[in-house]
């Protein structure tokens, strides 16, 4: 898939693009089935809420781990995701910084506080914020169900001061300080709820300010995220306690884009 000049200009201006129903129902069924399968394994790459509900499954794309799925490996390399990521980052040699599936179970699924992804990733030693993430909705995203909110154009305001919140949820989050995010919200365009049908994809810049709310609906909300980084922008060594490779990949080999755009494995005669 190739972005138009207008789409590139829109990404540069707003920091994100939405592609309604980019993946079909069969592909979404395949990804959901694979996610349910790998979520049942025992692994440090699986994070749960305090209630025990599933929160995040990492590293579904790498063949050498227990959460691996060949369908997610193909997803990372599909021209529908990798092609636009190469264009907006102006670099053809990208690798997956991390792949994760965020699950918000009905009622139990809790918030992701206002943050910039590079607010995390700068602490991993990543030199520049020239990174982008592709999101694929496996379930319908609604406001009641805790959809993502993006602040248009906020990728241009620089990296805001953040702190490590270890009390709001079961997973530590680097969140923008309250006094700063209040000012950002008052002076920026209104946050946009990113809603859509299963199969909808979103490409967004790693500096855009975003958050999501509690899932108050009766339905689970499953999303897939593929974070892309140029191999030349790989992290520098950090002095102590680097995060594990299921969060910060050590595989910097540039991805080879799939010739076959299908997520289904082809059986050759």
Of the candidates 31, 38, 12, 17, the residue with the CA atom closest to the CA atom of residue 76: 31
Q: What does the pLDDT profile of the chain (269 residues) look like in tens digits?
A: 899 999 999 999 999 999 999 999 999 999 999 998 988 888 888 888 777 777 889 999 999 988 889 999 999 999 999 999 999 999 999 999 999 998 888 887 778 889 999 988 999 999 999 999 999 999 999 999 999 999 999 999 999 988 877 777 767 778 888 999 999 999 999 999 999 999 999 999 999 999 998 889 999 889 999 999 999 999 999 888 899 999 999 999 999 999 888 887 764 44
For residue 106, give Cα distances in angstroms to 146, 215, 259: 10, 6, 38
DSSP per-residue codes, 142-211 = -TTTT-EEE-TTGGGS-PPPEEEE-SSSSS-EEEE-HHHHHHHHHHSPPPEEE-B-TT-EEEEETTS-EE
Q: Where are the domains of the chain?
A: 5-233
The CATH H-level superfamily of 5-233 is: q2cbj1_9rhob like domain (2.60.120.620)
Give the integer Cα–Cα distance in Å for 202 and 111.
19
- Residue 177 contacts residue 163 (beta carbons within 8 Å): yes
Q: Which token pair is 111? A: 């918030």
pLDDT of residue 269: 40
pTM above 0.85, yes or no: yes
- Residue 212 contacts residue 230 (beta carbons within 8 Å): no
């Amino acid at each position: 898939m190739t972005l138009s000049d207008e789409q590139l200009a829109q990404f540069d201006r707003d920091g994100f693009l939405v592609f309604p129903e980019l993946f079909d129902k069969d592909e979404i069924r395949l990804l959901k089935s694979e996610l349910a399968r790998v979520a049942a394994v025992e692994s440090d790459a699986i994070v749960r809420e305090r209630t025990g509900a599933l929160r995040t499954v990492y590293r579904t794309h790498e063949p050498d781990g227990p959460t691996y799925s060949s369908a997610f490996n193909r997803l990372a390399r599909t021209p529908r995701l990798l092609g636009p990521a190469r264009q907006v980052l102006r670099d053809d040699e990208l690798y997956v910084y991390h792949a994760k599936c965020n699950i918000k179970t009905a009622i139990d699924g809790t918030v992701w506080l206002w943050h910039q992804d590079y607010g995390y990733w700068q602490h991993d030693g990543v030199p520049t914020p020239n990174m982008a993430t592709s999101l694929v909705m496996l379930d319908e995203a609604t406001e009641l169900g805790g959809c993502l909110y993006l602040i248009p154009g906020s990728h241009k305001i620089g990296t805001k001061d953040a702190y490590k919140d270890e009390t709001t949820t079961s997973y530590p989050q680097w969140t923008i300080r309250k006094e700063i995010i209040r000012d950002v919200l008052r002076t920026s365009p209104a946050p946009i709820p990113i809603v859509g049908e299963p199969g909808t994809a979103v490409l967004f810049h790693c500096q855009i300010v975003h958050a999501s709310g509690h899932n108050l609906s009766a339905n689970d909300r499953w999303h897939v995220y593929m974070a892309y980084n140029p191999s030349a922008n790989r992290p520098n060594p950090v002095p102590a306690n680097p995060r594990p490779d299921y969060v910060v990949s050590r595989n910097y080999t540039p991805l080879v884009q799939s010739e076959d755009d299908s997520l289904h494995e082809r059986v050759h005669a």
